[in-house]
Structure 1
Amino acid sequence: MESTPEQDIRSFKFERILNQDTGRKTINLLGTISGLPAIITAEKTAFNSTSPASFVSPEQGLTSLNLLQKNDIYHWFMGTIAQSATENAAVKVNMIYPCTEVHIKKYSAQQLHMVVETPEIYDKYILKYIKQKTEGGRLNWVYNILSHKEESEKIIYEDTDNEMGFILLPDLKWDLVTMSTLYLSVIVHRTDIRSIRDFTPVHLPFLISLRTKVLNAVSERYTLSRNLLKIYVHYQPSYYHFHVHVVHISHDMGASATVGKAILLDEVIQMLEVMKIAESTGKQLGYKDLDMTYVLGEEHDLWKKVFEPLANGTEPTI
């Protein structure tokens, strides 16, 4: 009899801590489930703001208090809060099982480096890496979503057009409750775009349409003003099928939304519009012709196989 995800996570055998962030209250754990490697990530949830008046209630809010110190008008306590997995959960937990060595590297603490990916490096090395990362069924989970085999019940909005269409659904990092931490993903139906490196001015109508439809769908579904939303892409992305991130502007996404990782969709559109103007001079430009500066961790394959060897004056091994 096949076990349930709940049974799997209960049988997790801890091996070591991969990383923890005390500021963002997250921890990544490596272990095994039924002998196979697994990663559990846990994040403290935001406070429930739907019924703030009950916060001091011993039944619905602060169930216990311990006074640490008092100085004039200032008081410091430690306390516990009434919790429910459905209404006031204390932690959000993600499980990757079975995980791969790539996952382990991604979720491990590591030194970061700023690298410059020139068009020559992209053409000679990065394209090979992207091809490796799209072979062997690595994107099956994406195609399962696009074909409604998985997560169809989560879809917020869908444009089914093969060229202009996409699926909008909650990201696994969102608790589905706290609007100030809203995090959605946009996965496009077309399969010819792996990252922003594939964009040229010909893609402008597609991106402008996507931006408009996403803003309309999110603002209507969650009654949010469009100016409260950040829409951005990653380079390098975590997987090579074009997708977009939609996040509430108040949500602190940490390294995921910082310079050297996140690029606003508006900036991508603006850059392509500039490239379109350049076409009048006979120049055919795209993102493949730009230097891309971004952050890589030392455990990332691109650092180990491409940029570290280049920095050391040796030939990359990819």
Structure 2
Amino acid sequence: MGYKVAIIGATSAVGREIIKTLAERGFPVDEAVALASGRSAGQEISFGEKTVLKVRDLDRYDFAGTHLALFSPSAAISAVHAPRAAAAGCLVIDNTSQFSMEPGVPLVVPEVNPHAMAKRPKKGIIANPDGSTIQMVMALKPLHDIAKVRRVVVATYQSVSGAGKEAMDELWSQTRGVFVNDPPLAEQFTKPIAFNVIPHIDAFMDDGATKEEWKMAVETRKILDPDIQVVATCVRVPVMIGHSEAVHVEFETAITERQAREALREAPGITVLDHRDDGGYATPIEIAGEDSVFISRLRRDTTVPHGLAFWCVADNLRKGAALNAVQIAEEAHRLGLLEAPRLSIPG
């Protein structure tokens, strides 16, 4: 059985990657519908090798008869249209932060907490976590199964693609401008991003943390364990694709470096690339387009009784967004959660 699938935010970097990933993985699609704002309507996007989708206006789309909707617009747009799609009987997988901490909405990384999808959620919405959270909990899960994680200290080095196509364009234009003596104009970020790092992602909160840092903490607890303490510093760096993280983990009981390395090597979706010589580690430039979460620089953290430190890198457009959403859809298909949607009744 194939499905009618809508991709919302289809012209965004993540939306295009979702369309590409659906085709690459052979998800059972009978009909794909690309949706975006009215100003993007009429654009064309390839779906696989033979099909071209013409982008349609989201505001005018009737979700009746659609089985699955994969959302990757802004949170504000998801807030309006995701409940509308769910009310029409469509299963929504939302890639924004709008519903991630809402009670009754599962927040899912299939390799980590597939049990959260044991049944179709009453609200008809499943949330895709933040990309920086996804890659970290992927690495933490096999370690948490050995020795319970107590506390995580993480610094992220997040690529500009996490802020969208316009942010990628800004990095490119600013970089080029440096060499032609054209002063950089910061529009997508608070300061110039070319040849710079910016310790500020999303809005500041009352306690001094940014919302991105808050999300890493609360999402980790919702996905993995409510008792894990997380302190994050999230930084935007002049990299096009690929988020990196320096992660320090304190455990409740002893865990050896050897145990951790073996567990990570056996974990689904993880690739250990860790050689203690020049170049024996993963960096964003070589993992772009890959589906794995890469672990390098695994070592003991001797500042706590039971501690490990490691370097974690993943393509934020793939596993950090599009791939995880499609994997949720695949699990929903396997579990029979994509029920027949309601059909519109001519009035």
Greater fraction strand = 1
TM-score (norm 2): 0.20
Structure possessing the higher relative contact order (Cα contacts under 8 Å, 6 or more residues apart): 2
Q: Based on CA coordinates, which of the two structures has the bigger radius of gyration?
A: 1
